[in-house]
Chains A and B, each alone.
Chain A
């Protein structure tokens, strides 16, 4: 398992890096409007028909898939570091695959979610 993790590390790091970069670029507006401004009534919430029309466009599907999947890789990789920093390095070869499986499952679900729009 350790060798498998070492083999895939560049890909995981790339996904993690993009999770920070693109995740941060996209999540700022996303959290601000959908998580704070709309619930508090500062802006009108998106109507379903309009939201669906935006989301179901090609660019909409790509952006949403990235917005779901990439932060999951950032999250999993950083939680792996948290576990190691708390003294879990000797169990990393069991914990890391579990965390990355979560982000992989979420990424697959992201693709399904945008396809079924």
Chain B
């Protein structure tokens, strides 16, 4: 270990029982050549400072747990190779989220927005089991498949300037997942979801910064979903002018 090069880590620390505001703490540690940022954090916690708190799980960029700001950019720390970084690495909690402790952020705000778009198949009438499965062609699947790849890592929320400034905005992942179901040929719940898309968290708040798609580690392209959702909302609005619906949705 002593022959290994060292890197300095400047890490945000916050203990709500002790600290008024977050501060930074520096750790200089030897790093293995193949380490990810997460390996360094785990080394710090295991060997140097057991009080450091951070979320992680799968270590292979599929669970979405380990999202943090690395040198000012939202990243999955299990995916970021330390060799791509210089001698000093800044690690801070995800931007735009309230900070619970150290690198751990409050996620319930996202869960509220996520649940509000009803991210499940909605049917006017459920099929009976003996009616068989709902069939879907490969072409129908392609229309929404990329939007279903979201791992809820919330890097997109950290990058979005509208999330930073407009607290009611539904945000990239929630809209992308709502849109995923709107476009799913098995779903019949678009009308209900569009009430949410046109409500206080309106999809039209998106200003197409495209940062969400730039930072998404799973290439979901939430910016595409949000703007497709805007387009669909305009079509529904125009249809509503020409063919006004009754009260029931």
Contacts and interface: CB of A to CB of B under 8 A. Distances in A.
Asked if the two chains touch in their complex, CB atoms less than 8 Å apart, one says: yes
Interface stretch (B101-109, B126-134, B145-153, B196-204): B196-204
Interface residues of A, number: 14
Contacts of A84: 162, 165-166, 207
B161 interface: yes
A12 B238 CA distance: 13
Considering residues A9, A10, A85, A87, which has the most beta carbons from chain B within 10 angstroms of its beta carbon?
A10
A30 interface: no
Contacts of A12: 204
A89 interface: yes
A13 B230 contact: yes
Contacts of B167: 89
A71 B162 CA distance: 23
Contact of A6 (B161, B162, B199, B238): B199
B165 A13 contact: no
Considering residues B199, B200, B207, B233, which has the most beta carbons from chain A within 10 angstroms of its beta carbon?
B207
B166 A13 contact: no
Interface string A69-92: 000000000000100110101001
Contacts of B204: 9-10, 12-13
Interface residues of B, number: 16
A6 B200 contact: yes
A14 interface: yes
A116 B36 CA distance: 69
A13 B166 CA distance: 18
Contacts of A11: 237
B18 to A, nearest CB: 30
A84 B200 CA distance: 15
B224 to A, nearest CB: 15
B234 interface: yes
Interface string B173-210: 00000000000000000000000001110101001000
B237 A87 contact: no
A6 B230 contact: no
Contacts of A92: 166
Interface in B17-65: none
Contacts of A6: 198-200, 202
A85 B161 contact: yes
Contact of B166 (A9, A10, A14, A89): A89
A103 to B, nearest CB: 16
B234 A13 contact: yes
B202 to A, nearest CB: 6
8 contacts: A6-B199, A6-B202, A9-B204, A10-B198, A85-B207, A89-B165, A89-B166, A89-B167
List of 7 A-B pairs having minimum Cβ-Cβ separation, nearest first? A10-B237, A9-B204, A10-B234, A81-B207, A89-B166, A89-B165, A84-B165
Given A6-B199, A10-B237, A13-B204, 6 more contacts: A9-B204, A11-B237, A13-B234, A87-B165, A89-B167, A92-B166
Interface of A: 2, 6, 9-14, 81, 84-85, 87, 89, 92
